Amino acid sequence: MPKMSLSKNERLKSRKSIELLFQEGKSFAKFPIRVVYNLQEPSKDNVPVLFGVSVSKRNFKTAVHRNRIKRLMREAFRTQCQNLRDVVKNLDRQLILMMLFQGKSLPSQAEINLAVDKLLSMLSKKLH
């Protein structure tokens, strides 16, 4: 059974890492989500993927809606990321990944799952 979790050490929290990601990272989009990613040397904690999410305050004024969308995106990533983790482990690198929600209306779980699935398969192909 594959590990389907998103533990604390797999979350992207470091301000330095986030700044570096947006300066040097590559990006692509599949509406309503944009992905920014960067491959780097593995860190000492041996986590293959560091993951973060963001939702624009401009499009969603209330924190309740922003948090709901972030929760949906994290859940979709958690359930579908095993293939990506395997690809990154085979490369012997660490992937820093950030998903940015760019839509203007509240999505359903099915819409988010579909978009995240397509994005992760596109990212796996780009990393091969």
pLDDT band at 3 (very low <50, low <70, confident <90, very high): low
* Distance, CA of 128 to CA of 120 (rounded, Å): 12
CATH number at residue 83: 3.30.230.10
d(CA 50, CA 94): 8
Over 80: is that where the pLDDT of 104 sits?
A: yes
Q: Which domain holds residue 112?
A: 8-127
- 110 in a domain, yes or no? yes
Q: Alpha-carbon distance 102 to 112, whole Å?
A: 12
Mean pLDDT of 18-27: 94
* pLDDT over 70 percentage in the chain: 98
Average pLDDT over residues 62-78: 96
Whole-number Cα distances in Å, 4 to 7, 58, 67, 75, 85: 10, 32, 21, 10, 11
Least confident of 13-22, 33-42, 43-52, 70-79: 43-52
Checking if the pLDDT of 36 tops 60, the result is yes
Assess if residue 102 is contained within a domain: yes
pLDDT tens digits for 71-86?
999 999 999 998 998 9
Residue at 3 is within a domain: no
User: Is 77 a domain residue?
Assistant: yes
Count of domains forming the chain: 1
Question: What band does 1 get if pLDDT is binned at 50, 70 and 90?
Answer: very low
Residue 90 belongs to a domain = yes
Q: What does the buried/exposed string (b/e) look like for 86-101 if buried means 16 or more CB atoms within 10 Å of the residue's CB?
A: ebbeeeeebbbbbbbb
